[in-house]
Amino acid sequence: MTKVKSRREFLKTGSAVTASFMIVPRHVLGGKGFVAPSDKVNVAGVGVGGMGFSNMQHLGPNANVTALCDTDWDYAGKCFKKFPQAKQYRDFREMLVKSKDIDAVVIATPDNTHAMIAMHAMDKGKHVYVQKPLTHDIYEARALTEMAKKHPKLITQMGNQGHSNESNIELAEWVKAGVLGDVSKVECWTNRPVWPQGLPYPKDEVALPAGITKEGWDMWLGPAEYKAFNPAIYHFKWRGWWPFGTGALGDMACHIIDPPFRALNLGYPTTVEAYSSTFYDRDFHAAETTSESAPSASKIVFNFPARGSMPAVKLVWTDGGIIYERPEELKDQDALGWDGGGALLHGSKTKAMTGCYGDNTTLVPFDKMSSFTKPAPTLPRIAGNQGGHERNWIQAIQQGDPSFASCPFSYAGPLTETILLGNIALRVSNLKNPQGRPLVKEQIRLHWDGPAMKITNLDEANQFVKREYRKGWDLGA
Ligand SMILES: NC(=O)c1ccc[n+]([C@@H]2O[C@H](COP(=O)([O-])OP(=O)(O)OC[C@H]3O[C@@H](n4cnc5c(N)ncnc54)[C@H](O)[C@@H]3O)[C@@H](O)[C@H]2O)c1
């Protein structure tokens, strides 16, 4: 048998394409989570009507799509049609029990159900690719991270595909090589929400669309409290509603905060504070639009402590089209970010900017790039030789090498926890005291004990760290 090379060994010896694999058929070795490198990986998709459909099409030639599960068979119809050989299910639990030919599961349901489905799949020995943000709550992200640690042979990946981008990796190398100097401030922004958000919750009950059954609706809601069906909370739009989605921050920060989070090795923040847009429906009366919906625009400030020789960092997030400040060094016509978002790192030597998916990383001002010699690569390249994040996951499964996966839960978990902390800071403004008055009078700064998973200066805020699951639903495993 030829030993399969680790990701680091690949880097040393050049292209991963030339690596030799063990030629051992699946049935000889077997075991939980085992796929012989000579075999294709049998993949199931859960939630395949939107991004999941795209993920299934990007798995590459070393994957077979063997099962597809969706609660809405009309919405998922185009995916079912594309993979006619795959068995179709409405309930992932039934699929995991009945389908014998599943090695790995792609999960692209709304944020609300990621953790529950991933946990069940991992418990059944399946490798998992889970869309971003990894989970809906901080507690769930911690639980999945622990689960992955307990099952080190399972290959885990979060679907923030920009993490595999060459220029995202380069930013980390520039920081490591000291190109930026000390970085103590980062600004991140997005044009999201690009769906209705900051609205009162729809009250009407509307008949279920033809593609989804009553049981399917129950499954779509998952652990969230029971709600009547309404198209305003359904496909894609669920992002704006706290019971199901995680707002603009949850939607985009796993892409946009990811490059500085990796490059600066940020870890857990110690404080967070949030400011959001308000809507006055009459004089001096703010309409209550954000208790169930995320606001239409917000600013969130995270403070990270010093790490080794790296100074403390203030990271400012803005969404809803608001940008913190345009750097003076940029020419008036220069674009600020790419694809509707970006991150700007303020270094003591220079600033650097990266796009929405860690793309187009550049020094600021841009003309510095013409005389800039990039430092030699020191980190493994994932995307360049394999054509994408999904394929990277498939290849890691074939190699049986968790270190080959670009964005495993050991990284994705803490990143997701940090991002979701921002939503807690947003949501505390809706907390009420027993007299029905706002508990938090003005926007306050929350103190976070990351390892203990606890807000230490406002106990009521901890209810958002771990939500109550609806009766009959559990995280599994
Ligand atoms: N990485 C990216 O660039 C990217 C882009 C878009 C979406 N996403 C992520 O993908 C996920 C899905 O987003 P979307 O825009 O595709 O949403 P969507 O509403 O368009 O699609 C979700 C699909 O999941 C199905 N579904 C819902 N609950 C289910 C359940 N319990 N079991 C089985 N199927 C279920 C729905 O019927 C639908 O087909 C989200 O987590 C989102 O953040 C990532």
The two structure tokens encoding residue 343: 């991150």
Atom number of ligand 1 nearest to Cα 113: 31
Count the Cβ atoms, other than its own, within 10 Å of residue 339: 16
Q: What is the pLDDT of residue 288?
A: 85
DSSP string, 378-442: -S---HHHHSSHHHHHHHHHHHT-GGG-SS-HHHHHHHHHHHHHHHHHHHGGG-B-TTSSBSSSS
Q: Give the ranges where 156-314 is alpha helix by DSSP (H).
A: 166-176, 214-221, 247-256, 258-263
Q: How far apart are CA 230 and CA 25, in angstroms?
A: 49
Residues with CB under 6 A from ligand 1: 46-52, 69-72, 75-76, 92, 108-111, 113, 131-132, 159, 161, 219-220, 222, 235-236, 251
Distance 46 CA to ligand 1 centre (A): 9
Do the beta carbons of residue 130 and residue 68 sit within 8 Å? no
How far apart (Å, rounded) are the C-alpha atoms in residues 59 and 130? Answer: 13
Virtual torsion, Cα 467, 468, 470, 472, nearest 10 deg: 120
Q: Which residue, judged by its Cα, is nearest atom 16 of ligand 1?
A: 50
- Which string of b and e fits 40-61 if b means at least 16 CB within 10 Å? bbbbbbbbbbbbbbebbebbbe
Cβ-proximal residues to 177 (8 Å cutoff; 6+ apart), any chain: 375, 378
CA distances 130 to 99, 110, 257, Å, are 20, 11, 18
Tell me what pLDDT residue 24 has.
37
Pocket test for ligand 1, best of 70, 135, 208 (most atoms within 8 A of CB): 70
pLDDT at position 12 is 37
List all residues 6 or more positions away from 255 whose beta carbon is below 8 Å from its beta carbon. 132, 160, 162, 341, 356, 357, 358
Nearest CA-CA partner of 415 in 191, 134, 72, 178: 134
pLDDT attached to residue 72: 98
Q: What is the DSSP letter of 241?
A: B
Other CB atoms within a 10 A radius of the CB of residue 369 amount to 12
- Do residues 187 and 302 lie in contact, with contact meaning Cβ atoms separated by under 8 Å? no
Please tell me the distance from the alpha carbon of residue 9 to that of residue 3, in angstroms, as a whole number. Answer: 11
- In this structure, are residues 44 and 102 in contact, taking their beta carbons and an 8 Å threshold? yes
d(CA 183, CA 35): 43
Tokens linked to 181: 């100097």
Q: How far apart are CA 430 and CA 423, in angstroms?
A: 12
> How far is Cα 182 from Cα 452, in angstroms, rounded to an integer?
29
Distances (CA, A) of 115 to 78, 122, 290: 25, 10, 24
- One pLDDT digit (tens) per residue for the chain, 477 residues: 223 233 333 333 333 322 223 333 343 444 455 676 668 999 999 999 999 999 999 999 999 999 999 999 999 999 999 999 999 999 999 999 999 999 999 999 999 999 999 999 999 999 999 999 999 999 999 999 999 999 999 999 999 999 999 999 999 999 999 999 999 999 999 999 999 999 999 989 999 999 999 999 999 999 999 999 999 999 999 999 999 999 999 999 999 999 999 999 999 999 999 999 988 999 998 888 889 999 999 999 999 999 999 999 999 999 999 988 899 999 999 989 888 999 999 999 999 999 999 999 999 999 999 999 999 999 887 644 445 999 999 999 999 999 999 999 999 999 999 999 999 999 998 898 888 888 887 778 999 999 999 999 999 999 999 999 999 999 986
Ligand 1 atom closest to residue 75's alpha carbon, by position in its atom list = 39
Residues in contact with 358: Cβ distance below 8 Å, sequence separation at least 6, in sequence order: 162, 163, 165, 167, 168, 171, 255, 258, 259
Q: Classify domain 16-162+382-408 at the CATH topology level.
A: Rossmann fold (3.40.50)
Tokens 């939630």 identify what position?
Answer: 47
> In angstroms, what is the span from residue 49 Cα to ligand 1's centroid?
7
Residue 289, pLDDT score: 87
Q: Where are the domains of the chain?
A: 16-162+382-408
pLDDT of residue 37: 66
**What letter represents residue 457's amino acid?**
N
- Residue 23 has a pLDDT of 32
**Which are the contacts of 95, defined by CB distance < 8 A and separation ≥ 6?**
44, 46, 67, 69, 87, 89, 102
Can you tell me the distance from the alpha carbon of 340 to that of 267, in angstroms, rounded to the nearest whole number? 26
Atom 7 of ligand 1: nearest residue by CA position? 51
pTM: 0.93
Residue pLDDT, tens place only, 414-456: 999 999 999 999 999 889 888 888 888 777 899 999 999 999 9
Distance of alpha carbon 360 from alpha carbon 342, whole angstroms? 10
Q: Which residues pair with 158 in a beta bridge?
A: 130
